[in-house]
Amino acid sequence: MALLDAYTTPLTTAQVGHLLRRATFGPTPEQLKTLTGQTAAQIVTTLLADQPTPAPPLDLTTSKTFHDQPFDMANAGKLSAYVKMWWANLMLNQPVSVLEKMTLFWSNHFVTNTTTVNDYRYMYRYNALLRQFALGNFKAFAVAITQDPAMLRFLNGNQNLVGTANENYARELQELFTIGRNGGYTEDDVKAAARVLTGWVDAGYRDATNATISSSFKASRHDTTDKTFSATYQNTVIKGRSGATAGLDELNDLLDMILKNVETPRYICRKLYRWFINADIPATVETNFIQPLADLFRKNNFDIKPVMSAILQSQHFFDDALRGAIIKSPTDLVIGTFRFWGLQAPAPTQNITGFYQIGNYIHARLVEEQQDLLNPPTVFGWTAYYQTGYYQQWINSTTLGLRGYFGDSLTTNALKLNGRPVIDVLAYAKTLSNPSDAAKLVNDLTTQLLALSLDQTQKDFLTDTILLNTIPRYEWTSEWNDYISAPADTAKKQAVQLKLTAFLQYIFRMAEYQVN
Protein backbone atom coordinates (compact mmCIF):
# COMPACT_ATOMS: atom_id res chain seq x y z
CA MET A 1 0.00 0.00 0.00
CA ALA A 2 1.34 3.44 -0.91
CA LEU A 3 2.78 5.49 1.95
CA LEU A 4 0.47 8.43 1.24
CA ASP A 5 -2.70 6.35 1.25
CA ALA A 6 -5.11 7.22 4.06
CA TYR A 7 -5.03 5.29 7.31
CA THR A 8 -8.67 4.36 7.86
CA THR A 9 -8.70 2.14 10.96
CA PRO A 10 -10.14 3.83 14.09
CA LEU A 11 -7.30 5.18 16.20
CA THR A 12 -6.09 3.71 19.48
CA THR A 13 -5.21 5.92 22.44
CA ALA A 14 -1.53 5.66 21.54
CA GLN A 15 -2.24 6.71 17.95
CA VAL A 16 -4.38 9.65 19.04
CA GLY A 17 -1.55 10.72 21.32
CA HIS A 18 0.92 10.44 18.44
CA LEU A 19 -1.28 12.56 16.16
CA LEU A 20 -1.84 15.28 18.76
CA ARG A 21 1.82 15.39 19.84
CA ARG A 22 2.88 16.01 16.24
CA ALA A 23 0.04 18.24 15.04
CA THR A 24 -0.42 20.25 18.27
CA PHE A 25 1.60 20.85 21.42
CA GLY A 26 0.31 17.67 22.96
CA PRO A 27 -2.93 16.07 24.15
CA THR A 28 -4.86 16.41 27.36
CA PRO A 29 -6.12 13.23 29.09
CA GLU A 30 -9.65 14.22 28.18
CA GLN A 31 -8.76 14.57 24.50
CA LEU A 32 -7.13 11.14 24.54
CA LYS A 33 -10.34 9.65 25.93
CA THR A 34 -12.82 11.44 23.71
CA LEU A 35 -10.89 11.05 20.45
CA THR A 36 -9.89 7.40 20.85
CA GLY A 37 -11.91 5.33 18.39
CA GLN A 38 -12.33 8.13 15.89
CA THR A 39 -10.65 7.87 12.49
CA ALA A 40 -7.71 9.99 11.44
CA ALA A 41 -9.96 11.68 8.87
CA GLN A 42 -12.41 12.76 11.59
CA ILE A 43 -9.70 14.19 13.86
CA VAL A 44 -7.77 15.82 11.02
CA THR A 45 -10.93 17.60 9.89
CA THR A 46 -11.08 19.17 13.35
CA LEU A 47 -7.35 19.90 13.37
CA LEU A 48 -7.58 21.79 10.07
CA ALA A 49 -10.79 23.72 10.79
CA ASP A 50 -10.60 27.50 10.59
CA GLN A 51 -9.87 29.27 13.87
CA PRO A 52 -10.87 32.78 14.98
CA THR A 53 -8.26 35.50 14.94
CA PRO A 54 -6.97 35.89 18.50
CA ALA A 55 -7.25 39.20 20.32
CA PRO A 56 -3.92 41.08 20.28
CA PRO A 57 -1.65 41.23 23.32
CA LEU A 58 -2.27 43.76 26.09
CA ASP A 59 0.15 45.85 28.12
CA LEU A 60 0.29 44.51 31.68
CA THR A 61 0.54 48.05 33.04
CA THR A 62 -2.39 49.60 31.14
CA SER A 63 -4.45 46.54 30.07
CA LYS A 64 -4.60 48.13 26.61
CA THR A 65 -3.30 47.09 23.21
CA PHE A 66 0.10 48.42 22.18
CA HIS A 67 0.70 47.05 18.67
CA ASP A 68 -1.46 49.90 17.34
CA GLN A 69 0.31 52.70 19.24
CA PRO A 70 3.46 54.73 18.48
CA PHE A 71 6.71 52.95 19.29
CA ASP A 72 7.52 53.10 23.01
CA MET A 73 11.30 53.26 23.28
CA ALA A 74 11.36 53.19 27.08
CA ASN A 75 9.30 50.00 27.28
CA ALA A 76 10.31 48.31 24.03
CA GLY A 77 11.97 45.31 25.68
CA LYS A 78 9.01 44.66 27.94
CA LEU A 79 6.46 45.00 25.15
CA SER A 80 8.48 42.69 22.90
CA ALA A 81 8.41 40.07 25.67
CA TYR A 82 4.64 40.50 26.01
CA VAL A 83 4.20 39.52 22.34
CA LYS A 84 6.18 36.32 22.95
CA MET A 85 4.29 35.52 26.16
CA TRP A 86 0.99 36.14 24.38
CA TRP A 87 1.94 33.64 21.68
CA ALA A 88 3.12 31.08 24.23
CA ASN A 89 -0.26 31.28 25.96
CA LEU A 90 -2.08 30.84 22.64
CA MET A 91 -0.14 27.59 22.25
CA LEU A 92 -1.00 26.57 25.80
CA ASN A 93 -4.73 27.27 25.40
CA GLN A 94 -5.03 25.89 21.87
CA PRO A 95 -8.05 23.74 20.96
CA VAL A 96 -7.65 20.58 18.85
CA SER A 97 -6.09 22.59 16.05
CA VAL A 98 -2.88 22.50 14.03
CA LEU A 99 -2.80 26.30 13.72
CA GLU A 100 -0.26 27.11 16.44
CA LYS A 101 2.10 24.32 15.38
CA MET A 102 1.85 25.53 11.78
CA THR A 103 2.48 29.12 12.84
CA LEU A 104 5.65 27.98 14.60
CA PHE A 105 6.65 25.98 11.52
CA TRP A 106 6.32 29.02 9.28
CA SER A 107 8.26 31.18 11.74
CA ASN A 108 11.10 28.69 11.24
CA HIS A 109 10.62 28.80 7.44
CA PHE A 110 9.95 32.44 6.53
CA VAL A 111 12.38 33.50 9.23
CA THR A 112 12.69 36.92 10.78
CA ASN A 113 13.80 37.58 14.34
CA THR A 114 13.27 40.07 17.13
CA THR A 115 16.97 40.79 17.55
CA THR A 116 17.38 42.09 14.00
CA VAL A 117 13.96 43.66 13.40
CA ASN A 118 13.89 45.35 16.81
CA ASP A 119 10.31 46.65 16.65
CA TYR A 120 7.74 44.70 18.65
CA ARG A 121 4.87 46.05 16.50
CA TYR A 122 6.52 44.66 13.37
CA MET A 123 6.92 41.27 15.07
CA TYR A 124 3.29 41.16 16.16
CA ARG A 125 2.19 41.98 12.60
CA TYR A 126 4.54 39.29 11.27
CA ASN A 127 3.05 36.69 13.64
CA ALA A 128 -0.45 37.70 12.56
CA LEU A 129 0.54 37.20 8.93
CA LEU A 130 1.98 33.73 9.66
CA ARG A 131 -1.24 32.56 11.27
CA GLN A 132 -3.38 34.18 8.55
CA PHE A 133 -1.66 32.16 5.80
CA ALA A 134 -0.58 29.11 7.82
CA LEU A 135 -3.04 26.81 6.03
CA GLY A 136 -3.73 28.99 3.02
CA ASN A 137 -2.20 29.37 -0.42
CA PHE A 138 1.59 29.20 -0.55
CA LYS A 139 1.98 31.63 -3.44
CA ALA A 140 -0.25 34.21 -1.75
CA PHE A 141 1.75 33.61 1.44
CA ALA A 142 5.05 34.24 -0.34
CA VAL A 143 3.66 37.40 -1.97
CA ALA A 144 2.52 38.69 1.43
CA ILE A 145 5.71 37.80 3.30
CA THR A 146 7.81 39.56 0.66
CA GLN A 147 5.98 42.80 1.49
CA ASP A 148 5.88 42.25 5.24
CA PRO A 149 7.58 45.12 7.12
CA ALA A 150 9.49 42.74 9.41
CA MET A 151 10.81 40.75 6.45
CA LEU A 152 11.71 43.91 4.55
CA ARG A 153 13.80 44.94 7.55
CA PHE A 154 15.24 41.50 8.32
CA LEU A 155 16.55 40.74 4.82
CA ASN A 156 17.14 44.30 3.63
CA GLY A 157 14.33 44.38 1.08
CA ASN A 158 13.77 48.00 2.07
CA GLN A 159 17.29 48.80 0.83
CA ASN A 160 16.77 47.21 -2.58
CA LEU A 161 16.54 49.90 -5.26
CA VAL A 162 17.38 50.38 -8.92
CA GLY A 163 21.09 50.73 -9.59
CA THR A 164 22.18 49.28 -6.23
CA ALA A 165 20.11 46.13 -5.90
CA ASN A 166 20.39 44.36 -2.54
CA GLU A 167 20.47 40.60 -3.17
CA ASN A 168 19.82 39.40 0.36
CA TYR A 169 16.10 38.65 0.12
CA ALA A 170 16.31 37.46 -3.49
CA ARG A 171 18.87 34.85 -2.42
CA GLU A 172 16.95 33.59 0.61
CA LEU A 173 13.65 33.59 -1.30
CA GLN A 174 15.15 30.92 -3.52
CA GLU A 175 17.61 29.13 -1.23
CA LEU A 176 15.47 28.91 1.91
CA PHE A 177 11.88 29.89 1.16
CA THR A 178 10.98 28.19 -2.15
CA ILE A 179 13.23 26.08 -4.38
CA GLY A 180 16.02 25.18 -1.94
CA ARG A 181 19.78 25.28 -2.30
CA ASN A 182 19.73 22.16 -4.53
CA GLY A 183 17.21 23.69 -6.91
CA GLY A 184 19.77 24.62 -9.55
CA TYR A 185 19.36 28.40 -9.54
CA THR A 186 22.44 30.49 -10.36
CA GLU A 187 24.08 33.65 -9.06
CA ASP A 188 22.68 35.44 -12.09
CA ASP A 189 19.21 34.24 -11.06
CA VAL A 190 19.76 35.84 -7.65
CA LYS A 191 20.78 39.10 -9.28
CA ALA A 192 17.83 39.06 -11.66
CA ALA A 193 15.39 38.30 -8.82
CA ALA A 194 16.84 41.15 -6.78
CA ARG A 195 16.10 43.52 -9.66
CA VAL A 196 12.53 42.21 -9.82
CA LEU A 197 12.17 42.97 -6.11
CA THR A 198 13.42 46.57 -6.19
CA GLY A 199 11.16 49.29 -4.88
CA TRP A 200 9.56 47.89 -1.72
CA VAL A 201 9.84 49.94 1.49
CA ASP A 202 8.43 49.86 4.99
CA ALA A 203 7.10 52.82 6.97
CA GLY A 204 6.69 53.56 10.66
CA TYR A 205 9.76 51.71 11.91
CA ARG A 206 10.35 52.54 15.60
CA ASP A 207 8.36 55.73 15.07
CA ALA A 208 7.51 57.27 18.43
CA THR A 209 5.05 59.75 16.89
CA ASN A 210 3.05 57.57 14.49
CA ALA A 211 1.07 54.41 15.28
CA THR A 212 0.84 53.24 11.66
CA ILE A 213 3.25 50.67 10.27
CA SER A 214 3.00 49.62 6.64
CA SER A 215 4.81 48.66 3.47
CA SER A 216 4.44 50.01 -0.04
CA PHE A 217 5.94 49.97 -3.50
CA LYS A 218 7.84 53.03 -4.74
CA ALA A 219 7.91 53.04 -8.54
CA SER A 220 10.80 55.51 -8.61
CA ARG A 221 13.01 52.96 -6.82
CA HIS A 222 12.18 50.08 -9.18
CA ASP A 223 14.30 48.61 -11.96
CA THR A 224 12.03 48.77 -15.02
CA THR A 225 14.27 46.73 -17.36
CA ASP A 226 13.57 43.12 -18.40
CA LYS A 227 15.01 40.38 -16.17
CA THR A 228 16.33 37.18 -17.78
CA PHE A 229 16.71 33.93 -15.84
CA SER A 230 18.69 30.73 -16.41
CA ALA A 231 17.73 27.37 -17.87
CA THR A 232 16.70 26.30 -14.35
CA TYR A 233 13.75 28.62 -14.91
CA GLN A 234 13.43 27.77 -18.62
CA ASN A 235 15.21 31.01 -19.58
CA THR A 236 12.16 32.96 -18.47
CA VAL A 237 12.15 36.70 -19.09
CA ILE A 238 10.18 38.78 -16.61
CA LYS A 239 9.12 41.89 -18.45
CA GLY A 240 10.17 45.09 -16.76
CA ARG A 241 7.31 47.35 -15.84
CA SER A 242 6.76 50.87 -14.59
CA GLY A 243 4.01 52.49 -12.60
CA ALA A 244 2.25 51.83 -9.33
CA THR A 245 1.50 48.12 -9.94
CA ALA A 246 4.91 47.19 -11.38
CA GLY A 247 6.27 45.77 -8.15
CA LEU A 248 3.35 43.46 -7.45
CA ASP A 249 3.02 42.39 -11.10
CA GLU A 250 6.69 41.42 -11.35
CA LEU A 251 6.61 39.74 -7.91
CA ASN A 252 3.72 37.55 -9.07
CA ASP A 253 5.62 36.67 -12.24
CA LEU A 254 8.70 35.78 -10.19
CA LEU A 255 6.79 33.44 -7.91
CA ASP A 256 4.89 31.86 -10.80
CA MET A 257 8.27 31.12 -12.39
CA ILE A 258 9.73 29.65 -9.20
CA LEU A 259 6.65 27.52 -8.55
CA LYS A 260 6.84 26.00 -12.03
CA ASN A 261 10.16 24.38 -11.11
CA VAL A 262 9.57 20.76 -10.08
CA GLU A 263 11.91 21.11 -7.11
CA THR A 264 9.92 23.84 -5.37
CA PRO A 265 6.96 21.73 -4.17
CA ARG A 266 9.36 18.91 -3.22
CA TYR A 267 11.42 21.29 -1.11
CA ILE A 268 8.40 22.59 0.81
CA CYS A 269 7.05 19.06 1.33
CA ARG A 270 10.43 17.88 2.66
CA LYS A 271 10.42 20.68 5.22
CA LEU A 272 6.90 19.76 6.33
CA TYR A 273 7.95 16.11 6.52
CA ARG A 274 10.94 16.88 8.73
CA TRP A 275 8.81 19.05 11.02
CA PHE A 276 5.87 16.68 11.42
CA ILE A 277 7.22 13.17 10.74
CA ASN A 278 10.97 12.49 10.71
CA ALA A 279 14.30 14.10 9.87
CA ASP A 280 15.48 11.10 7.84
CA ILE A 281 14.20 10.95 4.25
CA PRO A 282 15.41 7.72 2.61
CA ALA A 283 15.00 7.11 -1.11
CA THR A 284 11.81 5.10 -0.61
CA VAL A 285 10.19 7.99 1.26
CA GLU A 286 11.39 10.50 -1.33
CA THR A 287 9.86 8.42 -4.13
CA ASN A 288 6.71 7.14 -2.46
CA PHE A 289 5.79 9.99 -0.13
CA ILE A 290 7.54 13.28 -0.94
CA GLN A 291 7.00 13.12 -4.70
CA PRO A 292 3.28 12.23 -4.61
CA LEU A 293 2.82 14.84 -1.88
CA ALA A 294 4.53 17.43 -4.09
CA ASP A 295 2.27 16.39 -6.96
CA LEU A 296 -0.73 16.91 -4.68
CA PHE A 297 0.61 20.33 -3.68
CA ARG A 298 0.89 21.39 -7.32
CA LYS A 299 -2.48 19.85 -8.28
CA ASN A 300 -4.16 21.95 -5.58
CA ASN A 301 -2.60 25.17 -6.87
CA PHE A 302 -0.15 25.22 -3.93
CA ASP A 303 -2.80 25.29 -1.24
CA ILE A 304 -1.29 24.14 2.05
CA LYS A 305 -4.33 22.58 3.74
CA PRO A 306 -4.71 19.60 1.36
CA VAL A 307 -1.03 18.78 1.87
CA MET A 308 -1.37 18.82 5.64
CA SER A 309 -4.54 16.75 5.44
CA ALA A 310 -2.71 14.10 3.42
CA ILE A 311 0.30 14.07 5.76
CA LEU A 312 -1.65 13.74 9.00
CA GLN A 313 -3.91 10.91 7.89
CA SER A 314 -1.39 8.95 5.83
CA GLN A 315 -0.44 5.32 6.35
CA HIS A 316 3.16 6.47 6.72
CA PHE A 317 2.39 8.98 9.46
CA PHE A 318 0.94 6.18 11.63
CA ASP A 319 3.85 3.79 11.09
CA ASP A 320 4.76 2.60 14.60
CA ALA A 321 8.44 2.86 13.74
CA LEU A 322 8.09 6.65 13.46
CA ARG A 323 6.57 7.17 16.90
CA GLY A 324 9.17 8.72 19.16
CA ALA A 325 11.37 9.62 16.18
CA ILE A 326 11.42 13.35 17.06
CA ILE A 327 13.13 14.78 20.14
CA LYS A 328 10.73 17.25 21.71
CA SER A 329 11.47 20.88 21.01
CA PRO A 330 11.35 23.14 24.07
CA THR A 331 7.85 24.27 23.06
CA ASP A 332 6.71 20.67 22.81
CA LEU A 333 8.28 19.80 26.15
CA VAL A 334 7.19 22.78 28.24
CA ILE A 335 3.83 23.60 26.70
CA GLY A 336 2.94 19.96 26.09
CA THR A 337 3.64 19.08 29.73
CA PHE A 338 1.54 21.97 31.00
CA ARG A 339 -1.31 21.12 28.65
CA PHE A 340 -1.40 17.51 29.79
CA TRP A 341 -1.76 18.56 33.42
CA GLY A 342 -4.54 21.01 32.69
CA LEU A 343 -2.78 24.35 33.08
CA GLN A 344 -4.56 27.11 31.17
CA ALA A 345 -3.74 30.79 30.92
CA PRO A 346 -6.63 32.94 32.15
CA ALA A 347 -8.21 35.45 29.80
CA PRO A 348 -6.07 38.61 29.94
CA THR A 349 -9.20 40.76 30.11
CA GLN A 350 -10.17 38.96 33.32
CA ASN A 351 -6.79 38.31 34.98
CA ILE A 352 -3.94 39.97 33.13
CA THR A 353 -1.50 39.39 35.99
CA GLY A 354 -2.16 35.64 35.96
CA PHE A 355 -1.99 35.60 32.16
CA TYR A 356 1.49 37.07 32.13
CA GLN A 357 2.69 35.08 35.12
CA ILE A 358 2.14 31.90 33.11
CA GLY A 359 3.41 33.42 29.86
CA ASN A 360 6.54 34.71 31.57
CA TYR A 361 7.34 31.31 33.09
CA ILE A 362 6.93 29.54 29.74
CA HIS A 363 8.95 32.21 27.93
CA ALA A 364 11.81 31.91 30.43
CA ARG A 365 11.96 28.13 30.05
CA LEU A 366 11.93 28.34 26.24
CA VAL A 367 14.72 30.91 26.20
CA GLU A 368 16.97 28.87 28.49
CA GLU A 369 16.24 25.70 26.50
CA GLN A 370 17.25 27.63 23.34
CA GLN A 371 13.97 28.19 21.49
CA ASP A 372 13.22 31.85 22.02
CA LEU A 373 9.91 32.46 20.24
CA LEU A 374 10.04 34.92 17.33
CA ASN A 375 13.82 34.90 17.61
CA PRO A 376 15.42 32.01 15.67
CA PRO A 377 19.21 32.48 15.80
CA THR A 378 19.79 32.68 12.02
CA VAL A 379 17.92 33.03 8.74
CA PHE A 380 18.07 29.22 8.53
CA GLY A 381 15.87 28.97 11.64
CA TRP A 382 16.60 26.87 14.72
CA THR A 383 19.53 24.50 14.29
CA ALA A 384 17.40 21.42 15.14
CA TYR A 385 15.61 21.77 11.79
CA TYR A 386 18.57 22.11 9.44
CA GLN A 387 21.86 21.09 11.08
CA THR A 388 23.34 17.58 10.90
CA GLY A 389 21.62 15.53 13.57
CA TYR A 390 18.48 17.66 13.37
CA TYR A 391 16.41 17.24 16.59
CA GLN A 392 19.47 16.07 18.52
CA GLN A 393 20.50 19.72 18.53
CA TRP A 394 17.89 20.35 21.24
CA ILE A 395 19.93 18.25 23.68
CA ASN A 396 23.31 19.51 24.85
CA SER A 397 25.28 19.86 28.07
CA THR A 398 23.28 22.97 29.00
CA THR A 399 19.77 22.04 27.98
CA LEU A 400 19.74 18.44 29.21
CA GLY A 401 20.01 19.52 32.82
CA LEU A 402 17.48 22.31 32.34
CA ARG A 403 14.96 19.92 30.80
CA GLY A 404 15.36 17.62 33.79
CA TYR A 405 15.08 20.49 36.25
CA PHE A 406 11.85 21.58 34.57
CA GLY A 407 10.26 18.22 35.38
CA ASP A 408 11.62 18.32 38.91
CA SER A 409 10.06 21.73 39.52
CA LEU A 410 6.64 20.34 38.67
CA THR A 411 6.81 17.28 40.89
CA THR A 412 8.04 19.08 44.03
CA ASN A 413 4.95 21.34 43.90
CA ALA A 414 7.25 24.29 44.56
CA LEU A 415 6.03 25.84 41.30
CA LYS A 416 2.61 27.46 41.50
CA LEU A 417 1.03 29.11 38.47
CA ASN A 418 -2.40 30.70 38.32
CA GLY A 419 -2.66 30.19 42.06
CA ARG A 420 -2.15 26.43 42.20
CA PRO A 421 0.46 23.69 41.74
CA VAL A 422 0.64 22.62 38.11
CA ILE A 423 0.24 18.93 38.91
CA ASP A 424 -2.41 17.31 41.11
CA VAL A 425 -1.20 13.74 40.80
CA LEU A 426 -3.91 12.29 43.04
CA ALA A 427 -6.74 13.86 41.06
CA TYR A 428 -5.17 12.55 37.86
CA ALA A 429 -4.68 9.02 39.22
CA LYS A 430 -8.38 8.87 40.08
CA THR A 431 -9.23 9.30 36.38
CA LEU A 432 -7.35 6.14 35.39
CA SER A 433 -9.08 2.82 34.80
CA ASN A 434 -8.01 1.10 38.06
CA PRO A 435 -5.55 3.11 40.15
CA SER A 436 -5.64 0.59 42.99
CA ASP A 437 -3.85 -1.88 40.70
CA ALA A 438 -0.23 -0.68 40.48
CA ALA A 439 0.47 -2.45 37.20
CA LYS A 440 -2.63 -1.04 35.50
CA LEU A 441 -1.88 2.42 36.87
CA VAL A 442 1.62 2.32 35.38
CA ASN A 443 0.31 1.00 32.08
CA ASP A 444 -2.38 3.70 31.81
CA LEU A 445 -0.07 6.51 32.84
CA THR A 446 2.78 5.58 30.49
CA THR A 447 0.35 5.07 27.60
CA GLN A 448 -0.93 8.61 28.05
CA LEU A 449 2.38 10.31 28.87
CA LEU A 450 4.88 8.60 26.58
CA ALA A 451 5.07 8.53 22.80
CA LEU A 452 6.78 5.13 22.85
CA SER A 453 5.24 1.88 24.04
CA LEU A 454 7.19 0.18 26.81
CA ASP A 455 7.85 -3.55 26.96
CA GLN A 456 6.75 -5.62 29.94
CA THR A 457 10.19 -5.63 31.54
CA GLN A 458 10.23 -1.83 31.55
CA LYS A 459 6.72 -1.65 32.95
CA ASP A 460 7.58 -4.13 35.71
CA PHE A 461 10.65 -2.08 36.63
CA LEU A 462 8.62 1.12 36.77
CA THR A 463 5.96 -0.59 38.86
CA ASP A 464 8.04 -2.52 41.38
CA THR A 465 11.19 -0.41 41.67
CA ILE A 466 10.16 3.16 40.88
CA LEU A 467 6.53 3.39 42.03
CA LEU A 468 6.48 0.83 44.84
CA ASN A 469 10.15 0.99 45.89
CA THR A 470 10.18 -2.83 46.29
CA ILE A 471 7.05 -3.17 48.47
CA PRO A 472 4.62 -5.89 47.28
CA ARG A 473 1.98 -4.79 44.79
CA TYR A 474 -0.85 -5.79 47.10
CA GLU A 475 0.36 -3.21 49.62
CA TRP A 476 -0.21 -0.48 47.04
CA THR A 477 -3.78 -1.69 46.63
CA SER A 478 -4.30 -1.43 50.39
CA GLU A 479 -2.68 2.00 50.58
CA TRP A 480 -4.75 3.35 47.70
CA ASN A 481 -8.02 1.98 49.06
CA ASP A 482 -7.18 3.36 52.51
CA TYR A 483 -6.61 6.79 50.99
CA ILE A 484 -9.87 6.66 49.01
CA SER A 485 -11.82 5.72 52.13
CA ALA A 486 -10.25 8.56 54.17
CA PRO A 487 -8.93 11.23 51.76
CA ALA A 488 -8.55 13.81 54.53
CA ASP A 489 -6.20 11.59 56.50
CA THR A 490 -2.77 13.16 55.97
CA ALA A 491 -0.77 9.99 56.56
CA LYS A 492 -2.88 7.89 54.19
CA LYS A 493 -2.79 10.63 51.56
CA GLN A 494 0.99 10.98 51.75
CA ALA A 495 1.51 7.21 51.54
CA VAL A 496 0.27 7.25 47.94
CA GLN A 497 1.08 10.84 46.98
CA LEU A 498 4.80 10.56 47.71
CA LYS A 499 5.08 7.38 45.67
CA LEU A 500 3.22 8.88 42.71
CA THR A 501 5.27 12.08 42.87
CA ALA A 502 8.57 10.19 42.86
CA PHE A 503 7.27 8.06 40.02
CA LEU A 504 6.39 11.11 37.92
CA GLN A 505 9.74 12.70 38.62
CA TYR A 506 11.41 9.58 37.23
CA ILE A 507 9.13 9.54 34.18
CA PHE A 508 9.92 13.18 33.35
CA ARG A 509 13.63 12.32 33.25
CA MET A 510 13.26 9.24 31.08
CA ALA A 511 14.55 9.41 27.51
CA GLU A 512 11.13 8.20 26.41
CA TYR A 513 9.56 11.38 27.79
CA GLN A 514 11.91 13.56 25.75
CA VAL A 515 10.59 12.34 22.40
CA ASN A 516 7.42 12.69 20.34
- Average pLDDT for residues 112-137, to the nearest whole number? 98
Name the average pLDDT for the chain.
97
Question: Among 205, 232, 261, which residue terminates a domain?
Answer: 261
Q: Is residue 363 part of a domain?
A: no
Q: Which of the listed residues 245, 261, 277 is the one where a domain comes to its end? A: 261
Assess if residue 370 is contained within a domain.
no
Reduced to 3 states (helix: H, G, I; strand: E, B; else coil), residue 428 is helix
In angstroms, the CA 129 to CA 137 distance is 13
The kind and range of the H/E element at 468 are none
What pTM was computed for the model? Answer: 0.97
Q: What pLDDT is recorded for position 412?
A: 82
**Dihedral sign, CA of 447, 448, 449, 450?**
positive
Which is higher by pLDDT, 91 or 470? 91
Is 53 part of any domain? no
Q: Note the pLDDT of residue 416.
A: 87
pLDDT, residue 1, reads 45
Q: Distance between CA atoms of 316 and 271, rounded to whole angstroms?
A: 16
Nearby residues of 244 by Cβ (< 8 Å), 6 or more positions away:
217, 219
Residue 397 resides in a domain: no
The pLDDT, as a whole number, for residue 415 is: 84
Judging by beta carbons within 10 Å of its beta carbon (0-12, 13-18, 19+), is residue 499 exposed, middle or buried? buried
Nearest-Å Rg of the Cα atoms of the chain is 25
Mean pLDDT for 174-187 is 96
pLDDT band at 270 (very low <50, low <70, confident <90, very high): very high
Q: Does residue 19 register a pLDDT over 80?
A: yes
Expressed as residue numbers, the domain containing 235 is 137-261
Of 261, 287, 308, the residue at which a domain comes to its end is 261
At 353-393, the pLDDT tens digits run: 999 999 999 999 999 999 999 999 999 999 999 999 999 99
Can you tell me the distance from the alpha carbon of 396 to that of 379, in angstroms, rounded to the nearest whole number? 22
The tens digit of pLDDT for each residue in 320-348 reads: 999 999 999 999 999 999 999 999 999 99
Based on the structure, what is the number of domains in the chain?
2
Q: Report the percent of the chain where pLDDT is more than 70.
A: 99
d(CA 429, CA 449): 13
Helix, strand, coil: what percent of the chain each, to 5? Answer: 55, 5, 40
Model pLDDT, residue 333:
98
3-state secondary structure 138-196: HHHHHHHHHHCHHHHHHCCHHHCECCECCCHHHHHHHHHHCCCCCCCCCHHHHHHHHHH
What is the rounded average pLDDT of the residues 177-191? 96
Q: Is the pLDDT of residue 414 over 80?
A: no
In a domain, 55, yes or no: no
How far is the C-alpha of 516 from the C-alpha of 456, rounded, in Å? 21
Whether 3 is covered by a domain: the verdict is: no
> Is residue 290 one of the residues assigned to a domain?
no
Is the pLDDT higher at 470 or at 41?
A: 41
Report the interhelical angle of 246-260 vs 263-276 (nearest 10°).
Answer: 80
In a domain, residue 68? The reply is no
Calculate mean pLDDT across residues 136-153: 98
